[in-house]
Amino acid sequence: MTATLNSLTQIDSPVFQPERGFIVAMARDARLAARSKGEAIQALAFFVVVVSLFPLAIGPESALLKRIAPGVVWVAALLSVLLTLPRMFANDHADGTLEQLALSVYPLPTIVAGKIVAHWLMTGLPLAVLSPLLGLQFGLASGELAVLCVSLILGTPVLSMIGAIGAALTLGVRGGSILLALLVLPLYIPVLIFGAGAVEQAMVSIDFSANLSLLGAIVLLAGLAVPFAVAAALKISLD
């Protein structure tokens, strides 16, 4: 770990490239996650368990289950991402790494962006890849499964990004995880609406591209602004 941390605090190339902070931070977080696979798998298992609870609560009536499938999968994805958010900065905060990162030669927003992408690769992407399997259990047709998967691929990065702001603001605060949910869930609503809406429109054979375009627009807008907001939030929390 020392080696990668050094690469963040020292300039190894003769020409200073600020964008390298993104790659180094992403690689570091991805390597850390790969060494403790349990955490990513737990989030995925949680996702599957929550989705499986709904048929048990509602009953095995397939027409009803099919109707609620997009909403159920999306809400479960939201909760699953939510549970992984505290880890995004908490470990680095606990052992002081985060302060080193804030002092690093690279701009903090680039490092934050790298961490967010790594978080998405470990949580959002696996959820999206697994989602067609769960959709199949609810009787979605193949075209609808594809839309579900694409909507999650487009939507989960936003969940990681907005979540990063909440995680940075609640860093080290007592009762942090419930507080985090309270802060972040209302801000997740547009993504939920557009994501689940796209699948619902595909189910009634309406053009769903508008919802996917809106999700794409939100990803781009959030991608521009969120790294700076998270960097500001981290500086407030580390002060």
Q: Which residues bind other proteins (CB under 8 A)?
A: 162, 165, 169-170, 173-176, 179, 182-183, 185-187, 189-190, 193-194, 197, 200-201, 214, 218, 225, 229, 232-233, 236-237, 239
Do 112 and 148 form a contact (C-beta atoms < 8 A)?
no
Please list, in sequence order, all residues whose beta carbon lies within 8 angstroms of the beta carbon of residue 73, skipping any fewer than 6 positions away.
51, 131, 134, 135, 138, 148, 152, 196, 199
Query: Which phi and psi angles does 225 have, rounded to 5°?
Result: -95, -35
Query: Considering beta carbons, is residue 15 or 204 the nearer one to other proteins?
Result: 204
Q: Provide, rounded to whole angstroms, the least separation between the CB of residue 8 and other proteins.
A: 24
Query: Considering beta carbons, is residue 35 or 174 the nearer one to other proteins?
Result: 174
Query: Considering beta carbons, is residue 18 or 172 the nearer one to other proteins?
Result: 172
User: Which two tokens mark 189?
Assistant: 């609503």
Query: Considering beta carbons, is residue 24 or 162 the nearer one to other proteins?
Result: 162
Q: Provide, rounded to whole angstroms, the least separation between the CB of residue 96 and other proteins.
A: 18
Q: Provide, rounded to whole angstroms, the least separation between the CB of residue 191 and other proteins.
A: 8
d(CA 114, CA 97): 15
- The alpha carbon dihedral of 115, 119, 121, 125 has a sign of negative
Please list, in sequence order, all residues whose beta carbon lies within 8 angstroms of the beta carbon of residue 131, skipping any fewer than 6 positions away.
73, 77, 145, 148, 149, 152
Q: Provide, rounded to whole angstroms, the least separation between the CB of residue 214 and other proteins.
A: 8
Q: Provide, rounded to whole angstroms, the least separation between the CB of residue 74 and other proteins.
A: 12
Query: Considering beta carbons, is residue 145 or 165 the nearer one to other proteins?
Result: 165
Q: Would you give the distance in Å from CA 68 to the centre of its chain?
A: 23
User: Which two tokens mark 216?
Assistant: 């794409």
Which amino acid, one-letter code, is at 9?
T
Q: Provide, rounded to whole angstroms, the least separation between the CB of residue 57 and other proteins.
A: 21
Query: Considering beta carbons, is residue 92 or 200 the nearer one to other proteins?
Result: 200
Do 43 and 84 form a contact (C-beta atoms < 8 A)?
yes
